[in-house]
A and B are shown apart, each in its own frame.
Chain A
Amino acid sequence: MTYGIRVENESGFTQIDDTTQGFQVLSTGTVAASNAYTINAVAIPSSYPDDILVVAKPHNPNTSTTYGLYASYEDFTVSGTRYRYAYMNFSVGSTFIATEAVDYAIIQRCSEFDDSLISGQTPPNQGLNIYQSDGTLSFTSEHPTFRVQAARHENITASNSGAGIWYNGTSAGDIENIYALAMGYGGYKYRTFGPAADRQYQSSSRILKWDFPNNRIETVISTVGGQAGYTSLYTKVWEGHRTEMVGYIV
């Protein structure tokens, strides 16, 4: 390292260095509760950069039960206009319908922030700014940070859904403050089966569950099914590598 600082924590993880940029909070808000047929979304402003991430947690949850996150991200262009939406709502308890409101935060690379917002304050604020050698920010205490508390990685296949408990709260009520990366929950596997005259379908979703009574975060599989009509026999799986991540917004 020739410029700046580098800070490692007790686990050997780099907290800050001079060459890479942390993700900090660009905006926050609440996605409203929905009905049984819709999952609501926040529209991503066109001014936002491509590499944003969206994190979410239940809005004013009842902490005597569980909440399951359905969340997806769409980025498409129609007639030259680009649309970006982060869809998200929560199911409650054992229900399959995601209708509950969501607190979300959109996080972006620190260097995307306008440096003048930091340097031009009157009176000057206190805190820490770390710059890269080209003058862009890699960390600033002026913006809330997404502080990663746990992350895991799964290679999702037809036989590996990645279900399981992967974060236990560190103190009572801890997961009430936990946000999770919210861009790929809902789709997992869809298959049809049975004779043509009585074709059935089974649709499985990967959901991230806030288990408030047990103060832990868990990936679960929720499955529904029914008559599929005269469709062909097939199985589709949203396969591939996936990172799941939880942390605080402070």
Chain B
Amino acid sequence: MTVYVQDLAVSQYGIQYAGSVTEVQDLAVGDTITASFDQEATSNQQTSLLDVEDNDIVFTLVNCTISPTNVKNRGTFTITPTSSGAAYSCVGVLIYYSPSGQSYGGPSTDHQQTTFTISGAYGTPPIMGLQVWHPSNTTLPRLDTKDKQIMHYATYSGTIAAGASPVTITVGGGYDITNGDWGIDVTPCHWTLGVVSTTNTFTVSTTADSGSQQWRVNVFKLNQA
């Protein structure tokens, strides 16, 4: 994990114009940037233009965060990308008092602005896992690193008679159909068969008016935590 330093500056000679500066910094996963944005100024400009309002820089952030969030000219802050595999950008606009009578590309005739931009790519993490190939297929592996393996857990079956009380089956093992790690296959596909799960159990019921209803439930895992 590398901490890059990016000190972006616009010359004092551009202070009456809408200056801008851009840097590109590509990052690997875990990298951050220690940054500062500086609209340079002579001592007189500092007093008469920048210090009058002493505004915070206004940021527009894409796929990144900054800390601290309140930053003034020449202040130091950290940029941390948030989305692996996605481009990030950190754009800061400093608006300051500038009574020139003309906007020169700034927001008004008595204010000017400087725009600082740091952007780049944020790399994907190293691929982990196991890849297994078979000579019968040279295009798709038999097992790949992004796969979820479906893993058998248990199979239950039975018959429930019309009018009978619901049957609750204990699955155990932390069975929780709502957490994404478990799967359930209910057969047959029938109006009169209901299978509802709760933590560690499922309950089979029937709304059949007569006869009986055979049922089968396959429980499998999609992640063996």
Contacts and interface: CB of A to CB of B under 8 A. Distances in A.
Interface in A223-250: 236-243, 245, 247-248, 250
A73 B188 contact: yes
B101 interface: no
A8 B190 contact: no
A19 interface: yes
Interface stretch (B7-15, B59-67, B212-220): B212-220
A76 B194 CA distance: 18
A144 interface: yes
Contacts of B185: 53, 181, 183-184, 243
Interface stretch (A20-28, A89-97, A211-219): A20-28
Contacts of B222: 13, 148, 151, 245
A127 B125 CA distance: 27
Contacts of B221: 20
Contacts of A73: 187-189
B107 to A, nearest CB: 42
Interface string B180-220: 10111111111111111100001000010000001010101
Contacts of B150: 22-23, 53, 107, 146, 148, 245, 247
Contact of B151 (A23, A72, A75, A239): A23
Contact of B152 (A9, A20, A187): A20
Interface residues of B, number: 57
Contacts of A13: 147-149, 222-223
Contacts of A21: 151-152
A13 B128 CA distance: 10
Contacts of A74: 187-188
A26 B151 CA distance: 15
A147 interface: yes
A17, A22, A236: most-surrounded residue (chain B CB, <10 A): A22
Contacts of B214: 75-76
Given A239-B196, A242-B186, A14 B132 contact: no
Contacts of B17: none
Interface stretch (B30-38, B48-56, B136-144): B136-144
Contacts of A76: 214
A12 B181 CA distance: 11
Which secondary structure characterizes the binding site on chain A?
Answer: strand
Nearest to A49: B155
B190 to A, nearest CB: 6
Given A50-B155, A141-B132, A181-B185, A236 B191 contact: yes
B110 to A, nearest CB: 51
25 contacts: A9-B130, A9-B145, A9-B147, A15-B129, A23-B151, A50-B216, A51-B152, A127-B134, A141-B142, A145-B143, A147-B144, A151-B183, A153-B178, A153-B183, A155-B196, A183-B185, A184-B187, A186-B189, A238-B191, A240-B196, A241-B202, A242-B184, A243-B185, A247-B147, A248-B140
Interface of B: 125-130, 132-135, 137, 140-153, 155, 157, 177-178, 180, 182-197, 202, 207, 214, 216, 218, 220-225
The 8 closest A-B pairs by CB, nearest first: A9-B129, A243-B183, A236-B191, A51-B155, A20-B151, A72-B189, A240-B195, A148-B148
